[in-house]
Each structure stands twice: as C-alpha cells, then as structure tokens.
Amino acid sequence: MTLGPLEEELAKARAAYRNRGRWGEADVLGTLNFIDDAIRAHAAGLVRRGRSFSLAQGFDGLGDRTSTRWDGLGRGHDNKYAWHGGSRAVTDGDSVTGIEHLRDAFTGRGVLLDVGRAVGDARGELPDGYPISEEHLRDAVEAQGATSSVRRGDIVLVRTGQLGRVRRLGAWEGYASGDAPGLSFATLGWLHRTEIAAVATDTWGLEVRPSGFAEPAAEPLHRIAVPHLGLPLGELWDLEALAEDCAADGVYEFLLVAAPLPGTGAVGTPVNPIAVK
Amino acid sequence: MTLGPLEEELAKARAAYRNRGRWGEADVLGTLNFIDDAIRAHAAGLVRRGRSFSLAQGFDGLGDRTSTRWDGLGRGHDNKYAWHGGSRAVTDGDSVTGIEHLRDAFTGRGVLLDVGRAVGDARGELPDGYPISEEHLRDAVEAQGATSSVRRGDIVLVRTGQLGRVRRLGAWEGYASGDAPGLSFATLGWLHRTEIAAVATDTWGLEVRPSGFAEPAAEPLHRIAVPHLGLPLGELWDLEALAEDCAADGVYEFLLVAAPLPGTGAVGTPVNPIAVK
Amino acid sequence: MTLGPLEEELAKARAAYRNRGRWGEADVLGTLNFIDDAIRAHAAGLVRRGRSFSLAQGFDGLGDRTSTRWDGLGRGHDNKYAWHGGSRAVTDGDSVTGIEHLRDAFTGRGVLLDVGRAVGDARGELPDGYPISEEHLRDAVEAQGATSSVRRGDIVLVRTGQLGRVRRLGAWEGYASGDAPGLSFATLGWLHRTEIAAVATDTWGLEVRPSGFAEPAAEPLHRIAVPHLGLPLGELWDLEALAEDCAADGVYEFLLVAAPLPGTGAVGTPVNPIAVK
Amino acid sequence: MTLGPLEEELAKARAAYRNRGRWGEADVLGTLNFIDDAIRAHAAGLVRRGRSFSLAQGFDGLGDRTSTRWDGLGRGHDNKYAWHGGSRAVTDGDSVTGIEHLRDAFTGRGVLLDVGRAVGDARGELPDGYPISEEHLRDAVEAQGATSSVRRGDIVLVRTGQLGRVRRLGAWEGYASGDAPGLSFATLGWLHRTEIAAVATDTWGLEVRPSGFAEPAAEPLHRIAVPHLGLPLGELWDLEALAEDCAADGVYEFLLVAAPLPGTGAVGTPVNPIAVK
C-alpha cells in the first residue's frame, strides 16, 4: 500500500468518496442516515445474555486533554470544506451540524473488528505507527467468523490493542498525543463502500500516526472522512473487556448505544458507549 | 397525606427504609444490584419498532447550573450518614462510591409513569408544588395498563409535565431553582418496597418543592433515598416525546440505556439517556 | 422592609431600575461598562503585600450541580425580557450576550462587605432565610471603615457566612438548593444607584431564600438585576479566608481578577476569582 | 543544536535539571515556589494604563479536545517518575499534586518573549516544526529590550505566531494535533537555570513537533519539565492581541493572573489568563 503525494491523494479521495449532497443540502446526520428503525430493532435482538459493557475510559472532568469521545460532523475540516458548507475554526463550535443533532442517532448494531488479535503480536497488540489496511480489516472479519460481517448502517469498532499495551506497561506518555497504530488513509474506500454509519477505535486519533505520507499531513483521513463522507469518528474507546468477551464466546456483534452528550454546537463530545450482548 | 414533624419523619424513614448493609459493607451499587443479566436481556426483548428516544435536554457545556443528570450514591447526605459511611461535602467528590462505579449499570427495563397525564390537567401537567403520592403512582399504573406494572430492578421515569409547561410558556425562571411538582416524602415506602433500581423525572430536584413539611427542609427525600435506600436519582430528564409516543401506542415499557459519564469520584454526572421501543 | 404583591413590585422595579438601552441597543457588557482603564489601574495600585487569595470552592468537574460561578447577561429572565432582547430558554445558550464577551471584563476594584460579621451572630454568620437590606449593606460599610466605601465600577462581594457555617457543621444538605441568607429584593435600588459593576456572594443563589414575597417567587431579584440592570451575579464564592484577612488588617478593598471561562454562548460559567491585597 | 540519542539525552537531562526534593518531599508547588509576595506586589506595580487582556481562546465546552490550559504537576510522566513520586495514568487524575493546590499560585510577573517577531518571518510567524533554541529566546529578550529581561519567579509567555497564522488562513486542521513550532528539548537548561515559575505558549503542545530526535519521541520536553523540574506548562494561549500591544508600546512585562479552575485531582485545567498592563 503506497500513498502518492498528499495533495494528489486528497484530491482523488475528495472526488471518489463524496457523500455530501447525498441526503440533501440541509442534512445534519451524514452516514448515520444508514441506520433505520429496522436496523435498531434487529440490533436489540442480538442481545442474548444481557451483559452490559461500558466502553468508556475514566473521566477526570477538567483533568486532561482527552476523553472517550465522538467527533461530530463539524470536526475534521478540509480547508474550505465542511460537511455542511463553510470553513470554520476548531474552537468556534458548529452552529449547523452541532453534535446535538446526533443525540439519538448512535443506537444500532455494533461490530468489533479486533485487528490487534487478527494481525498483531501474541498479546493482540499492534505497534505504534502500524497502518491498518483494508486487507487487515478483511482479515479480521475472516478470522472472527460470521457474526462480524460488516453491513450497511453498522457502527464498527476497530481494536488496535494500543490501550491494552499502554495500560499493561503504564507507559502513558504520548498515548494522547503521539504515534499510534490506526486506520491508513487507504481505508477510506472501504469506509465509503461498506456504508457503515460510524467507526471508533482505542487510540487518540483513529488514523495511523505518522500518516504514511512523505509530507507532513495533519489527520489526512479526518479531512476526507468527516467533511466528505459525513462519517462520525470515535476515539479513545476502551475495547479491552469487550474484546476479551468476544474472543471467548466467538460473537462479535451486539447492540450498541453510544449516546453523545448533546452539547449545543459542539464539534465533538464525551460519551459512555454501552455494548449489550 | 399529612407529614409529621421533620426530625420525627426522618427518624422513622431511616429505620424503615434502610438498605445500607444489604449488599455488604463494601457495596457501591445500591439498588442497581436489583438489575441482573436476565433483566437486561428481557429489557432488550421489549424493543419492537426500533425507535430511539433521547431523554436529554440540551447541554450548553459551561452554560448553566444544570443538565440532565444522575445523582450517584455520594449525592444526598443525611448529616453523618452516606451510603458508604462517613459524611462528606457536596463539593469534595466521592472517593468511595464515585459515579465511575456505575458506568455500565443503568441498562435495563424502563417504565414511564406519566403522572401528569393520569392526574394532572387537560394538558397533562401538574402545577408547581404538587406533591405526588403513592396513590398517584398507582393511579398512573392503572390508567396506563399492563405494560406499566412496576417490577424489581426497573428504572422508573416519573413525568410531572413541568418541563412541557415551562417550554410551552417560555417561563424558564425558576425551572432550575424554584418550586416544582414532584415525589412526596411519603413515597419513600413505595420506592423502597417496589425494589426499583433507580427513579428519574423531568424536574430539577425530583422531589416536590416546597417539601410539605412545616419546617424548612432541604431535600428531605434525597436525605433518605440516597444514603439509606441507595437509590440513584435522575433529574431534568426530557420525557415529552417519549410520553407522547407511549400515550399513542399504549406501551409504557422499553429498553433504557442511561450510561453516566464515568467522572472519577463524581457525585453526579450528565447523561444522555436513550429509550428504545 | 415590607414587600408588596409580587407583580406590582416587579412592575415598579422594571420601571425604576432599568439600564437597558443606556449603552446602546447592541451592548453586551451591561454594568461592566462602569469599569474603565483608570479604575483598573487604580485597583492594581491597591496591592500592598502581594498576597493572592483564590475565592473558588473546589471543583469536581462532572461532580455536582454547582460551582463557583458568574451568571452572565443571558441568565435571569423576566418573561419576555432579556438584556439583549428576546426571551430564551435557560438551556439554550445565549448567542448574543454569551459569557465570551466578558472574558477580560472582570478586572477591577473588589470590595468585601462582610454583612455576616457586621450584623450576624458571634461567629459572623447570618441564618438561612435572613434578608439582607440596604441598611445592612450600609451598616457593613460603616463598621468596616474607609476602605470599604462603594464606588462606581466596583465588584462588590457580600459575605453572609453561610458557607462558613455549612463547612463548620458539615451540613451540606441544602447548601446548593435550599434556604439561604441573601440580598433582599429591596436592595435593587442600592444595586442600581451605586452603579457597581457586579456583585457576588457565598451562597448558591445570591438572593435571600425564601424571597420574602407572600406568593411563590422564583429568583425575583435575578429577574430584575440581570435583564433590566444588566448586572452580572456571582454565586458560591468562598470568601472565608479573604474575610478573615480583611478583619485582621482592616483593609476591605483589593485588586480583583475574576476571569470567566469564555464558553461560547454560555449563560454562566465557572470561575476561579483571585483577590490580591 | 544537535540532539543525541533519545535515551541518552533523557538520562542527562534527568540528572542535570532535577528540582525534585528541592522543596521537600511533600511539595506540591514545584517551580511556583519561586513566586513570593514581594514578586506579586512588584508585578501589580507594573500596571500603568489599566488595560486588561484575556489570553484565552474560545471555549465551546464539550466541543473539542482542547482549550487554553495549564498542565499541572501530574501531567507529563517519565516512566516511573512523577513530580510527587509514583507513576500514574493520564486518565486517572492526580490525588497528590492535583491542580487544586495551584489555585492561587499563578499570580505574578508575566513576560512575553515574542520569538515569532524576533526571529520569524515578516508576519512574525515561525513555520511548523521550527525548534526554538535557547539562543532564540535570548535573541527575543535582546530585540525587545529592558522590560523583557527574565527573572526568577517569572511566568514566561513564548509566542510562536502559529495561532496567528492558523487564524489568518483558516487552516485549523492539525492545530490541535499536528506539527508545530515550539521549544526545543535543548531549552531545558534555560528553563531550569532561569528559575522561572511557569512557561506558556500559543501552540497545542508547547514543545516543537516533530521533536528533533531521530527516534519517535512522545513529548520529550514534557517528560523532563514536569516531573523533574516541576514546571507547569501552559498551552493554546492566545497571545496575539497582547503581542501587538507590546510591540506598539515596547513594554513586554505585566501583571499576569492565570488562575486555573481548581478541579480536584485534575492533572490539567482550562484557564482564562488575564494580563494587565
């Protein structure tokens, strides 16, 4: 998987993976439009044992830069592009596509793709800087079996194992600001084609760092995924206990309710996601 | 329903409605112990249409004193009593029974008791200061029919209609600090006897204000419900759309996932509760 | 001091104490307009010893309903009136007079009026429900001496002693929701006539609770002070250490820097106020 | 300025720039110990015109990963080292050196070192990845003149101009997560030797990114500055208006009051810093 020059790849991706306009000019839901009542009813039917998993890391409120979160459709800019038109500053809030519009939207079928276990080391961990490719995602689906087939409207959880390693070693330096395994820019085609509703992971930035481009590139996957695909991105989720349970019972699908705090105009928000199996 | 002298009523209630010690000295879950996997699995089975309702009011972050919330087991003091022993200040946080222990606990069967519609005015609203009695709760169950029978482990949502009235009139003065309809102190027996897991409502304080005692009484129901029953209390929930839907289809039970942000040591926390029918 | 019927008193106060329009239709500063560079320079000159006092109570982030705070010009509604026109909901944020406009405005001369010590009990505390009148404020000035004369543009800190009592007794029930000593509705004339820039206190609501009106009255002083006077109100400040120091050295004036977090559109905000003597 | 192998440089810095133990084992203030009453009184005397500058960027509350902030003494780990002993997770809070201990400590003399104007381009901006060296800091002092000499106990504000550029271009991608100009690891000697109390800047991470080491290095300056020097670090400050004013009147020193919200156990906290000239 080789990436060409940054601006060239961005231009190709903008053209190829564009959902803007797909649901009308005034749309505020993006790919969450793929979830409907039938999908939610089906997802509730996946609950068998009644076990509830919180996928949130601890919050210390004012404490640090980060928390388990959703990035909404105002987070991830591409120069003059944003999901709902107009460029705006990270720190300005989002008066059009603020996270409050998504308050009831993140209820559906969750699927865990444990890439760390499928292609990582014996502990199920990927090293920092490891780029997850489309093939790796398919490898995980295949290794995990039928319950992890990815369908339209799914909320896909990609486990890299970084959080597990950091916790095991107590090596928190850089966990919220440094290099990390994550989705390669080259997975944008898969993210677009599968028509998933959202994707989340256990690292601070979701995409691989460094980015794999020869040039400095600030969050290139965000730049396409959010303003052009309209795909909400979840970060800093704690998938460790859920992944262990899925490995034990071989079931990688579940009801997921990941309701964001509806901060008016917020471009992202803390969340305590709940998976029920 | 006449209340005797405050200290006398408090003393009786402390003796009669005590759950402290029931689940061991080190317990951090309180009445959430009543929810088990079987209850959660059953609750997921209540989902038919797949419709998702957010029960959160808007959040403006730093904006005001209030938000849709859970009070945890460190909120609601009774002089020297707290659920987990020791008295502590409201502003100190809770190093023993902090809300982080409840991160996956609020998943179960939700039941709406629309007291506003059952015993209120033509708009389904109770006036400020209206004390909801045990009989009113039973009236609501009876009026609503079989789907609203209250069982052990339920999360009960009591609608007063105050939020609907305030929103209709734009009369927000006092909504977060003034008189309100709510549960009378005399409902503590019902809250204890039914073995419900939690209770939430659409006002800022859950209990009726003024309290109905002749003496000044600061949150007398909180003083018993939290430290002695171990009952988490939800406030400022938006039950309007859900109540309308329940009135329309006659189904008052649903899957409820109301996962609090797990702020370490927090005595309460914002929440975006999701009901799925 | 006898208060007439609520609506009558409100009508009189609206007419008598109106600053709206005084600084133009587009004003977002209210009485903070009274502070100018000369006042700030003078205030810095009040620093002698170089001792710094934090007037904030502890914050536990997600922990509770409350924190040391400023209410901005969008907090405190009077039916259809707000400082900047239009009625709006408490929970909606404030797109016109949001607290971000006040980010550098709370720097000036602070004056402590220790009413608890001047007219309270031997411990310097007022009982809950004690209405502070204009005369009490003047009594405090007189008792304290020359450094506490109140001037145009001052930020006035009124100590009731309630926080000291609550802390001393560990009696936190009701501190953030119950009866409290505080400014009587009848002090609105003084608040208006003195042309102070802001007023803050050590209780959760600033004004006395109950309000002293025969009818139920939700925050009647807020209803006039914020939308009609344009006066920012501070609540839950910790004045104990500062008050002790002032009592010891007899100096009740100081530089006050009480910079609110500039939450975009927030109607109120946490603050860590710093007094320097 | 060439940096040797990472572990070697870290080992040298740990030995050379260690303040731990300097103020006793139980110290919670770190280099803030350098500020005393005399310094604060002197700083208040620097106020001439009475102009107040807020150095905070806008806050949208729940909105994003970032805000104008202080990192306290629990932020910045070095494997098993922390300022107050013991290693701990970023997300766990800090029960020993939590930010609440610093609530009144950030009041003193502020000095702006406008490195962007001193050694940057015609707009006074440094490019991303530009490492600020000790010499650049001295260049700025020399260019600015007598009011910017750095003394023990100062709070030093280093302007890179990155925020100005990002705002000018609307190019917010990466501002809170990508490459940035900033302090080189090699400035640790200067930070230690000058005995300043704290340092803050207009980028998201304070130190230069990439770090200048051949190996991947997560926040190497943080790893020494916080746990070994005990130096609080400020990030995402808005220095633009202040810098313009300093350039205009040639005065680069001022009273700085930058009081952090005292979140109990927080390892960092939002702040609205106020400079008064």
* Distance in Å, alpha carbon of C61 to nearest chain A alpha carbon: 5
A138-158: buried (b, 16+ CB within 10 Å) or exposed (e) per residue?
ebbbeebeebbebeebbbbbb
* A173: contact with C, CB 8 A cutoff: no
Q: Say yes or no for a CB contact (<8 Å) between D54 and C261.
A: no
- Residue D262's pLDDT band, with cuts at 50, 70 and 90, is confident
**CA angle centred on D175, ends D172 and D181, rounded to 5°:** 130
For residue C116, give every residue at least 6 positions away whose Cβ sits within 8 Å of its Cβ, in sequence order, or none: C124, C125, C126, C159, C160, C161, C164, C181, C243
pLDDT band at B55 (very low <50, low <70, confident <90, very high): very high
CA dist., res. C17 & res. C31, Å (int):
12
Please provide the DSSP assignment of D216-271 as one string. --SSHHHHHIIIII---EEES---HHHHHHHHHH---EEEEE-PPP-BTT-SEEE-
pLDDT at D89: 45
Determine contact: B59 vs chain D, CB below 8 A.
yes
**Mean pLDDT score, A73-92:** 66
Query: Which chain A residue shows the shortest CA-CA distance from D260?
Result: A62
Supply D274's token pair: 């106020």
Look up residue A189 and give its two tokens: 């085609």
DSSP lists the bridge partners of residue C201 as C158
- The helix-helix angle for A162-169 and A240-249 (nearest 10°) equals 120
The domain spans of chain C are 6-276
Contact present, C9 and C141 (Cβ < 8 Å):
no
Q: Does A273 touch chain B (CB under 8 A)?
A: yes
pLDDT at site B139: 97
Q: Which residue has the higher pLDDT, A217 or A153?
A: A153
Burial of A7 (0-12, 13-18, 19+ CB in 10 A): exposed
Q: Is 80 exceeded by the pLDDT of residue A77?
A: no
Residue D157 has pLDDT above 80, yes or no: yes
Q: What is the pLDDT of residue B87?
A: 46
The chain-wide mean pLDDT, for chain A, equals 91
C-alpha radius of gyration, chain D, whole number: 17
Q: Which of residues 210-229 of A touch B (CB under 8 A)?
A: none
| Contact (CB<8Å) D257/C266 | no
Residue C63: is its pLDDT beyond 80? Answer: no
Of the listed ranges B227-236, C200-209, D82-91, D190-199, the one predicted with least confidence: D82-91
In this complex, is the C-beta atom of B255 within 8 Å of any C-beta atom belonging to chain A? Answer: yes
Q: Is B169 exposed, middle or buried (0-12, 13-18, 19+ CB in 10 A)?
A: exposed
pLDDT for C60: 63
Query: Cα torsion for C34, C38, C41, C44, to the nearest 10°?
Result: -40
Closest chain A residue to D211 measured between Cα atoms?
Answer: A178
**Residue A63 in contact with partner chain C when CB distance is under 8 A:** yes
Whether residue A12 has pLDDT greater than 80: yes
pLDDT band at C151 (very low <50, low <70, confident <90, very high): very high
Phi, psi angle pair for D32, to nearest 5°:
-65, -15
Q: Flag whether pLDDT at D85 surpasses 70.
A: no
* B36 and D CB contact within 8 Å: no
Rounded mean pLDDT of chain B?
90
Residue whose C-alpha is closest to residue D93's, from D222, D272, D269, D270: D269
Nearest to A63 by CA among C58, D225, D55, B264: B264
Task: Detail the DSSP E strand segments found in chain A.
Answer: 52-54, 69-71, 107-114, 131-132, 155-159, 182-183, 198-201, 233-235, 253-257, 268-270, 274-276
For residue A1, name the pLDDT band (cuts at 50, 70, 90): low
Mean pLDDT of A44-63: 86
**What's the CA gap between A186 and A131, in Å, rounded?**
9
Phi/psi at C232 (5° precision): -70, 145
| C37 interfaces chain D, CB cutoff of 8 Å | yes
Residue C77 has pLDDT above 90, yes or no: no
The C-alpha atoms of residue C242 and residue B179 are separated, in whole angstroms, by 34
Neighbors of chain C with 3 or more C-beta pairs under 8 Å:
A, B, D
Tell whether A54 is within 8 A of chain C (Cβ): no
Copy the structure tokens of residue C81. Answer: 């009136």
Q: pLDDT at position D86, please?
A: 53
Contacts 24+ apart (CB under 8 A), B244-248: B245/B51, B245/B53, B245/B277, B246/B112, B246/B114, B246/B144, B247/B114, B247/B117
CB contact under 8 Å between C40 and D53, yes or no, is: no
Instruction: Retrieve residue D223's tokens.
Output: 């790893």
| B93/D265 CB distance under 8 A | yes
Asked if the C-beta of D264 comes within 8 angstroms of chain B's C-beta atoms, the answer is yes
3-state secondary structure of B156: strand
Chain B positions touching C58 (Cβ under 8 A) are 91-93
Cβ pair D63:B59 closer than 8 A: no
Q: Tell me the chain C residues in contact with residue A62 when contact means C-beta distances shorter than 8 Å.
A: 59, 61
DSSP run (H or E) holding B54 = strand B52-54
pLDDT of amino acid A266? 77
Candidates B61, B92, B265; nearest CB to D60: B61
Decide: residue A112, CB within 10 A, 0-12 exposed, 13-18 middle, 19+ buried. Answer: buried
Nearest CA in chain C to A62: C61
Crossing angle of helices B162-169 and B240-249, in 10° steps, is 120
Let me know: does D229 contact D195? Beta carbons within 8 Å. Answer: no
Average pLDDT over residues C127-148: 97
Residue range A5-16: average pLDDT? 95
Q: Does D21 touch chain C (CB under 8 A)?
A: no
pLDDT of amino acid C86: 54
Q: Span A198-226, mean pLDDT?
A: 93
Residues of C (84-103) whose Cβ lies below 8 Å from A: 92-93
A127-166 pLDDT per residue, tens: 999 999 999 999 999 999 999 999 999 999 999 999 999 9
Mutate to test the interface with C, among B173, B175, B207 (most CBs of C within 10 A): B173
**Strand D52-54 to A182-183 pairing:** unpaired
Reading the block at residue A31, the tokens are 């790919």
Q: Answer yes or no: are the C-beta atoms of D201 and D182 closer than 8 Å.
A: yes
- CB–CB contacts below 8 A, B to D: 20
DSSP letters, A6-54, are HHHHHHHHHHHT--TTTT-TT---GGGGG--HHHHHHHHTT--S--EEE
Distance in angstroms (rounded) separating the CA atoms of residues A224 and A220: 7
Least confident segment among C200-209, D100-109, D165-174: D165-174
ipTM: 0.95
Query: Which residues in chain B have Cβ-Cβ distances shorter than 8 Å to D59?
Result: 61-62
pLDDT given at position D252: 98
Pairwise CA distance, residues A34 & A196, whole Å: 7
pLDDT for B243-271, tens place per residue?
Answer: 999 999 999 999 999 999 887 777 788 89
Spell out where chain D has E strands.
Answer: 52-54, 69-71, 107-114, 131-132, 155-159, 182-183, 198-201, 233-235, 253-257, 268-270, 274-276
- A127 touches D at CB < 8 Å: no
Write down the pLDDT at residue C271.
Answer: 93
Joined tokens for residue C4: 């007439």
Token digits for D40? 């604060």
Report the distance separating Cα A259 and Cα A103, nearest Å.
6
D75, pLDDT greater than 80: no
Any B CB within 8 A of A50 CB: yes
From A66, A65, C262, select the one nearest D71 (Cα to Cα): A65
Q: What share of chain B has pLDDT > 70, as a percent?
A: 94
Taking CB atoms and an 8 Å limit, are C93 and B63 in contact across chains?
yes
* Least trusted range by pLDDT, from A121-125, B99-103, B267-271, C193-197: B267-271
Q: Residues of B with CB below 8 A from D63's CB?
A: 61
Q: Which of A61, A92, A265 is the closest to C60 by Cβ?
A: A61
| Res. D103: pLDDT tops 90 | yes
pLDDT digits (tens, 9 = 90+) for B105-162: 999 999 999 999 999 999 999 999 999 999 999 999 999 999 999 999 999 999 999 9
pLDDT exceeds cutoff 60 at A124: yes
Residues of C in contact with A93 (CB under 8 A): 264-265
Which partners does chain D have (≥3 C-beta pairs < 8 Å)? Answer: A, B, C
CATH ID of B6-276, from 3.30.1330.10, 3.50.30.50, 3.40.50.720, 3.40.50.80: 3.50.30.50
What's the CA gap between A79 and A81, in Å, rounded?
A: 6
Per-position b or e across C76-106, b if 16+ CB within 10 A of its CB: bbbeebbbbeeebbbbbbbebbbbbbbbbbb
Considering only the beta carbons, identify the residue of A59, A61, A265 that sits closest to C265.
A265
Q: Do D261 and C51 touch (CB under 8 A)?
A: no
Query: How many distinct helices (H) and strands (E) make up chain B?
Result: 8, 11
> Which pLDDT score is estimated for B251?
98
Beta bridge partners of A108: A256
Instruction: Say what the pLDDT of residue D266 is.
Output: 77
